[in-house]
Amino acid sequence: MTDFLRLGVNIDHVATVRNARGAGYPDPVRAASIAAAAGADGITAHLREDRRHITDDDIARLSAALTIPLNLEMAATDEMLGIALRHRPHAACIVPEKREEVTTEGGLDAAGQFDRLAPLIARLRDAGIRVSLFVEPEAAQIDAAIRLGAPVIELHTGRYAEIDGDARTAELRRLSDAAALAAKNGIEVHAGHGLTFDNVGPIAAIPQVRELNIGHFLVGEALFVGLGEAVRRMREEMDAARG
Ligand code: PXP
């Protein structure tokens, strides 16, 4: 089914809870296996430069244990490139990273950082890793992704998730236009950031979007209903929106 919308479950914040006490639990690898059993199509983990949640050991254990694809979120640095080349995840999503931010605050400036990104993307692609660029829904960024030879972009839905009313409608239009432009140019479109049961529908309904990456909400919801149930319900919301 070409129209199928994949769900990537981001398990970073299972590690946030673990690291709050420096204990060995809850284990993000166990979370990944529960998410997979509940219908996740992939697992996403962001190895930040400051290792505030996911650690190098988590990436090694996920790489060894996962039966579904791993999408490694990473900053465009030599250190992260080395780690990606060592573990060879199915995909690497390049994100901007600022040490002081609470979460990824916006898309990558693929247009402005073209010269730095080009060799890094080439190395990842040569290693057989599917490169995705996390970008704002802007034509200039999509144009840069095309010129950089990125096979995938992930559209930043954080702004959409934070606003209401007419502003949200306008942002949704920007996201749909960007998805259409990317797909027309042969780029696979993913989306993510800030998605919940309440706001996922319109994003899931954009026909060119092939994968959603969702984390913080699912890990929070897991406290109340369990991770498996949270993933199953998200899957249902996505399928319903897809029609
Ligand atoms: N996609 C990217 C590129 C991200 O950086 C994040 C946050 O780590 C997500 C998706 C998931 O966002 P959220 O945790 O808000 O669902």
The mean per-residue pLDDT over the stretch 28-32 comes to: 98
Token code pair at residue 201: 């529908």
Cβ proximity of 95 and 116 under 8 Å: no
| CA 212 vs CA 9, 123, 129, 169, 194: distances in Å | 8, 25, 19, 19, 11
73 is catalytic: yes
Which residue intervals of 108-212 are DSSP H helices?
114-126, 139-148, 158-162, 165-184, 200-204
- Model confidence over 150-205: pLDDT tens digits? 999 999 999 999 999 999 999 999 999 999 999 999 999 999 999 999 999 999 99
Residues 105 and 108: their CA atoms lie apart, in Å, by 10
Ligand 1 in contact with 194 (CB < 6 A)? yes
Nearest CA to ligand 1 atom 1: 192
Report the nearest atom of ligand 1 relative to the CA of 218.
Answer: 16
Helix axes 165-184, 139-148, angle to 10 degrees: 30
What is the dotted CATH code of the domain comprising 6-242? Answer: 3.20.20.70
Examine the pLDDT at 9 and tell me if it is beyond 70. Answer: yes
Which residues are CB-neighbours of 236 under 8 A, at least 6 positions away? none
- Residue 217 CA to ligand 1 center (angstroms) comes to 10
Question: How confident is the prediction for the chain on average, in pLDDT?
Answer: 96
| From 43, 74, 103, mutation site for ligand 1 pocket: most ligand atoms within 8 A of C-beta | 103
pTM of the model: 0.96
The CA-atom distances, in angstroms, between 30 and each of 62, 78, 144 are: 9, 29, 37
Longest dimension (CA), the chain: 48
Query: pLDDT tier at 1 (50, 70, 90 boundaries)?
Result: very low
Judged against a pLDDT cut of 50, whether residue 101 lies above it is answered with: yes
Q: Where are the domains of the chain?
A: 6-242
> Does the beta carbon of 214 sit less than 6 angstroms from any atom of ligand 1?
yes
Q: How far apart are CA 128 and CA 93, in angstroms?
A: 14
Q: Is 193 among the residues known to form the active site? A: yes
Q: What pLDDT, on the 0 to 100 scale, is given for residue 3?
A: 81
> Would the CA dihedral through 242, 42, 171, 152 be positive or negative?
negative
Q: Catalytic pick from 13, 46, 53, 87?
A: 46
Residue 99: per-residue pLDDT: 65
| pLDDT tens digits for range 102-118 | 766 789 999 999 999 99
* Contacting residues for 85 by C-beta, under 8 A, at least 6 apart: 123, 124, 127, 129
How many residues belong to the chain?
243
Question: Which of 6, 7, 10 best tests ligand 1's pocket when mutated (most atoms within 8 Å of CB)?
Answer: 10
